[in-house]
């Protein structure tokens, strides 16, 4: 391998380095010295990105959230307006509450159903038989294509008034709706689109199921536990860390849905704001109405909400997530 | 669980085809039909005549026509050739920029000891949870101030070259932790500097992690909509997803066939990736929890 061709010159001992003994004590790593410099050399692109692409923009947006900045204003025009954006948001903006409600409904309905579908299919696929790999791959396919515009377009065609879904329902004598154009049902079609992409959490569940020791099932059957009891008393507790992982991941993702809502509503969040997901609202205020200051305030509220949500999820996790090694991770 | 246990478990199940298994298989097949139907339907519909498209729930067209593909390709003032080239250029540049910058950062985190390493690592994990949507507005303003908005490649590629996709940094750190440290030590004793260790040991051994990263960053960039929507404003700069969106602006029914045809083509690269790397993708997810 490449090792044998290594021909880097021996770097001479630099003055002022820590003594060889101290070097040795810290393992191969060494301390500050050569690795210290190299560490920062290798880290420099990331650090630059952290500063320029993440930290400075974040501070900037925090500042802008207290201003009336629009894309058209020059920096001299920017007016500090204090908490006005936040005040407007909470007291004078019904669309904000609409966006919050839509997002909550979307995430709270979709995530549990998606995880249930993922777990059910994972349980069915958790056996070694010929062809199981193909099944896993095919169930995963929608997740892979998931975020694309093409699928959102297909979805709006499927659920259109004269779309295939209604054609299918007509076969059973049911008269359908113009699903995507009806404020009562449009969000539902987005939720179904989200559930349909259960492949990603499914694959993670499959990995988790492989970790459950077969001995536990054997012991449970010897004790006369029915498959149902085995599921509740062996599978579920052993799988709880993976369920937790998927729950956190999918909830955060659920809160960030954008593409499908944007495409299905043609960027409006309609009909009648029924699909106005929070990020879509943020985009509208920032990039369609050019109110970057207000949009920055929206973004910060969103960030805090996700932070709170993560903390809540992690604190409830204590009560039901069971770690095999007894450690609280 | 131990390997013999798995084998025993599998062997017990193998030679028994029970009613339970038949039910299981039936449920799976019904589920698969439901899951794959929308995909099959859009492919079939792209070959249907205009009259047949929207309402026909069958997958196969009664009358086969490929005309939507030629019509769709030239639907707009700029042809899809350009959109596909744009998407490909952006995806390939992203893959390269992302893989290199994340690998370099991961090497520092996984293998090198330097002051404040723990602090930076914690920050990196923190950015993992940071929703990208929150940053898009201030990033836009920064890039706008820098005058980059008229050259949309810069705002799309530069962040990737600066390892801002913390997810891949984390993935590679986890991978590198699995490479035996003895190799680093041997190379160091042979006179390798940290740069030499990176070049001669870590880089060649990280190929699986690089491939996983490359596949996923290609697919995510190809499917990306939000950032491209924000930064691409000229028709000739449009990528495939942004161009597809034009179909919903133009009038509905008549262009449905063209829209389907182009949608199918837009899914094709990802689908081909999927076929080629199916095993790796599913396993990559298993170990890392990547999203789809």
Q: Which residue has the higher pLDDT, B216 or B93?
A: B93
Q: Do the chains contact at B287 and A207, CB–CB below 8 Å?
A: yes
Taking only the tens place, the pLDDT of each residue in B133-174 is: 788 888 998 898 888 988 889 999 999 999 998 989 998 998
| Pairwise CA distance, residues A310 & A48, whole Å | 27
Q: Do the chains contact at B285 and A28, CB–CB below 8 Å?
A: no
Q: Which residue has the tokens 């698969």?
A: B32
Say if CB B254 and CB A117 are below 8 A apart: no
Sign of the torsion formed by the C-alpha atoms of A213, A214, A217 and A223: negative
* CB within 8 Å of chain A, chain B residues 172-211: 181, 183-188, 190-196, 198-201, 203-204
* CB within 8 Å of chain B, chain A residues 195-224: 196-197, 199-200, 203-204, 206-207, 210-215
The pLDDT score that the predictor gives to residue A327 is 47
The pLDDT score that the predictor gives to residue B287 is 60
The number of angstroms, rounded, from the C-alpha of A28 to the middle of its chain's C-alpha atoms is 38
The pLDDT score that the predictor gives to residue A15 is 42
Size of interface A-B (CB pairs under 8 A): 350
| Chain A residues with CB-CB distance to B56 below 8 A | 164, 167
The pLDDT score that the predictor gives to residue A41 is 94
Mean pLDDT of the B182-208 span: 91
The pLDDT score that the predictor gives to residue A76 is 76
* CB within 8 Å of chain A, chain B residues 212-231: 219-220, 222-226, 229-230
Q: Do the chains contact at B1 and A210, CB–CB below 8 Å?
A: yes
| Pairwise CA distance, residues B167 & A147, whole Å | 17
Lookup: tokens for B66: 């490929």
**Full 3-state SS string of A145-197:** HCCCHHHHHHHHHHCCCCCHHHHHHHHCCCCCCCHHHCCCCHHHHHHHHHHHC
β-pair partners for A80: A67
User: Which of A29, A135, A148 minimises the CB distance to B28?
Assistant: A135
User: Which of B144, B226, B292 minimises the CB distance to A144?
Assistant: B292
Q: Which of A173-187, B29-43, B210-224 has the lowest mean pLDDT?
A: A173-187
| Chain A residues with CB-CB distance to B245 below 8 A | 149, 263
Taking only the tens place, the pLDDT of each residue in B6-25 is: 444 554 544 556 887 888 88
List alpha helices for B129-255, DSSP H: 132-145, 153-161, 166-176, 181-189, 194-197, 203-205, 207-223, 226-231, 240-249
Mean pLDDT of the B209-222 span: 90
Mean pLDDT rounded to a whole number for chain A: 83
| Chain B residues with CB-CB distance to A196 below 8 A | 35, 38
| Chain A residues with CB-CB distance to B204 below 8 A | 1-2
Torsions phi, psi for A110 (to 5 deg): -70, -45
A299 → chain B, closest CA residue: B134
Sign of the torsion formed by the C-alpha atoms of B43, B48, B54 and B59: negative
Q: Do the chains contact at A157 and B54, CB–CB below 8 Å?
A: yes
- For the CA atoms of B179, B184, B187, B193, the dihedral, rounded to the nearest 10 degrees, stands at 130
| Pairwise CA distance, residues B84 & A201, whole Å | 30
Q: Do the chains contact at B274 and A141, CB–CB below 8 Å?
A: yes
State whether residue A1 sits within 8 Å of chain B by CB.
yes
pLDDT tens track, chain A, 329 positions = 333 333 333 333 344 444 444 444 444 444 457 788 999 999 999 999 999 999 999 999 899 999 988 877 777 778 899 899 999 999 999 999 999 999 999 999 999 999 999 999 999 988 777 778 888 889 999 988 877 888 888 888 888 877 788 888 888 878 877 888 888 889 999 999 999 999 989 988 998 888 888 888 888 888 888 888 888 988 898 898 899 989 988 998 898 888 889 988 888 887 889 999 999 999 999 989 989 999 999 999 999 998 898 889 889 888 888 876 554 44
- CA-based nearest distance A319→chain B, Å: 23
The pLDDT score that the predictor gives to residue B118 is 92
| Chain B residues with CB-CB distance to A314 below 8 A | none
State whether residue B144 sits within 8 Å of chain A by CB.
yes
Which among A180-194, B50-64, B88-102, B224-238 has the top mean pLDDT? B88-102
| Pairwise CA distance, residues A199 & A218, whole Å | 29
User: Which of A140, A163, A306 minimises the CB distance to B131?
Assistant: A306
Mean pLDDT of the B198-213 span: 90
**Which residue out of B8, B12, B44, B113 would a mutagenesis test of the A interface target, given it has the greatest number of A Cβ atoms within 10 Å?**
B113
Strand, coil or helix: A224: coil
Q: Which letter, b or e, does each residue of B101-133 get, where b requires 16 or more Cβ atoms within 10 Å of its Cβ?
A: bbbbbbbbbbbbbbeebeebbebbeebeebbeb
**Which residue out of A1, A5, A8 would a mutagenesis test of the B interface target, given it has the greatest number of B Cβ atoms within 10 Å?**
A8
The number of angstroms, rounded, from the C-alpha of B155 to the middle of its chain's C-alpha atoms is 19
Mean pLDDT of the B184-202 span: 91
State whether residue B251 sits within 8 Å of chain A by CB.
no
State whether residue A130 sits within 8 Å of chain B by CB.
no
A61 → chain B, closest CA residue: B138
A47 → chain B, closest CA residue: B162
The pLDDT score that the predictor gives to residue A227 is 84
Q: Do the chains contact at A46 and B108, CB–CB below 8 Å?
A: yes
Lookup: tokens for A243: 């369920």
The pLDDT score that the predictor gives to residue B85 is 96
The number of angstroms, rounded, from the C-alpha of B113 to the middle of its chain's C-alpha atoms is 32
Output A10-19 pairs: Cβ under 8 A, ≥24 positions apart: A10/B191, A11/B191, A11/B193
Burial of A329 (0-12, 13-18, 19+ CB in 10 A): exposed
| Chain B residues with CB-CB distance to A20 below 8 A | none
Q: How far apart are the first and last CA of chain A?
A: 38
* CB within 8 Å of chain B, chain A residues 80-99: none
| Pairwise CA distance, residues A149 & B167, whole Å | 23
- CA-based nearest distance B183→chain A, Å: 9
The pLDDT score that the predictor gives to residue B289 is 56
The pLDDT score that the predictor gives to residue A162 is 77
The pLDDT score that the predictor gives to residue A325 is 57
User: Which of B55, B108, B262 minimises the CB distance to A162?
Assistant: B55
DSSP annotation of A300 reads H
Q: Do the chains contact at A258 and B133, CB–CB below 8 Å?
A: yes
User: Which of A34, A124, A206 minimises the CB distance to B286?
Assistant: A206
The pLDDT score that the predictor gives to residue A9 is 37
Percent of the residues in chain B that have a pLDDT greater than 70, as a whole number: 87
Q: Do the chains contact at A139 and B163, CB–CB below 8 Å?
A: no
Burial of B140 (0-12, 13-18, 19+ CB in 10 A): buried
Say if CB A303 and CB A285 are below 8 A apart: no
State whether residue B97 sits within 8 Å of chain A by CB.
no
State whether residue A288 sits within 8 Å of chain B by CB.
no
Say if CB A278 and CB A237 are below 8 A apart: no
Say if CB B241 and CB B266 are below 8 A apart: yes
């Amino acid at each position: 391998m490449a090792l044998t061709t290594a021909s880097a010159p021996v770097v001479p001992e630099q003055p002022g380095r820590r003594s060889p003994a101290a070097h040795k004590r810290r393992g191969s790593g060494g301390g500050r010295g050569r690795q210290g410099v190299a560490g920062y050399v290798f880290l420099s692109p990331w650090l630059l990105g952290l500063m320029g692409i993440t930290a400075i923009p974040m501070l900037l947006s925090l500042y802008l959230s207290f201003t009336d900045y629009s894309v058209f204003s020059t920096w001299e025009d920017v007016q500090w307006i204090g908490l006005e954006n936040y005040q407007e948001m909470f007291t004078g903006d019904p669309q904000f509450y609409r966006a919050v409600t839509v997002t909550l409904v979307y995430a709270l309905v979709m995530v549990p159903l998606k995880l249930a579908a993922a777990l059910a299919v994972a349980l069915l696929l958790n056996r070694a038989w010929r062809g199981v790999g193909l099944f896993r791959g095919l169930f995963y396919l929608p997740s892979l294509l998931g975020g694309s515009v093409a699928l959102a377009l297909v979805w709006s065609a499927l659920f259109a008034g004269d779309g295939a879904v209604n054609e299918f329902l007509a076969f059973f004598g049911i008269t359908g709706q113009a699903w995507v154009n009806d404020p009562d049902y449009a969000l539902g079609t987005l939720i179904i689109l989200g559930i349909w992409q259960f492949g990603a959490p499914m694959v993670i569940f499959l990995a988790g199921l492989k970790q459950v020791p077969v001995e536990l099932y054997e012991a449970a059957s010897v004790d006369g536990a029915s498959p149902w009891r085995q599921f509740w008393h062996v599978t579920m507790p052993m799988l709880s860390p993976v369920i937790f992982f998927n729950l956190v991941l999918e909830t955060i993702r659920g809160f960030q849905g954008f593409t499908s809502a944007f495409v299905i509503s043609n960027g409006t969040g309609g009909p009648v704001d029924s699909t106005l997901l929070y990020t879509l609202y943020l985009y509208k205020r920032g990039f369609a109405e050019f109110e970057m200051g207000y949009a920055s305030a929206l973004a910060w509220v969103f960030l805090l909400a996700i932070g709170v949500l993560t903390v809540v999820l992690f604190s409830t996790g204590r009560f039901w997530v069971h770690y095999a090694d007894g450690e609280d991770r | 669980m131990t390997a013999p246990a798995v084998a025993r478990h599998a062997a017990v199940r193998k030679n028994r085809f029970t009613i339970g298994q038949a039910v299981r298989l039936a449920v799976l097949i019904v589920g698969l039909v439901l899951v794959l139907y929308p995909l099959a339907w859009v492919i079939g519909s792209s070959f249907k005549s205009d009259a047949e498209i929207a309402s026909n729930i069958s997958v196969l067209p009664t009358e086969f026509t490929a005309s939507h593909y030629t019509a769709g390709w030239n639907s707009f003032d700029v042809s899809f050739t350009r959109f596909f080239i744009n998407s490909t250029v952006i995806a390939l540049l992203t893959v390269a920029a992302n893989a290199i910058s994340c690998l370099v950062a991961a090497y520092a985190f996984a293998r090198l000891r330097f002051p404040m390493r723990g602090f930076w690592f914690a920050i990196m994990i923190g950015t993992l949870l940071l929703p990208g949507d929150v940053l898009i507005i201030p990033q836009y303003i920064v890039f706008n101030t820098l005058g980059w908005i008229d050259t949309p490649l810069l705002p799309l590629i530069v962040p990737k070259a600066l390892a801002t996709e913390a997810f891949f940094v984390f993935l590679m750190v986890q991978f590198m932790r699995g490479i035996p440290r003895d190799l680093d030590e041997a190379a160091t004793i042979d006179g390798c500097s940290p740069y030499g260790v990176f070049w001669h040991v870590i880089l060649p051994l990280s190929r699986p992690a690089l491939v996983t990263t490359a596949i996923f960053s290609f697919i995510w960039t190809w499917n990306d909509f939000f950032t491209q929507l924000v930064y691409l404003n000229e028709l000739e700069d449009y990528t495939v997803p942004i161009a597809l969106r034009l179909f919903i602006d133009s009038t509905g029914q008549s262009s449905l066939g063209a829209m389907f045809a182009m949608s199918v083509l837009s899914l094709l690269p990802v689908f081909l990736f999927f076929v080629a790397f199916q095993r790796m993708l599913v396993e990559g997810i298993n170990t890392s929890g990547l999203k789809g």
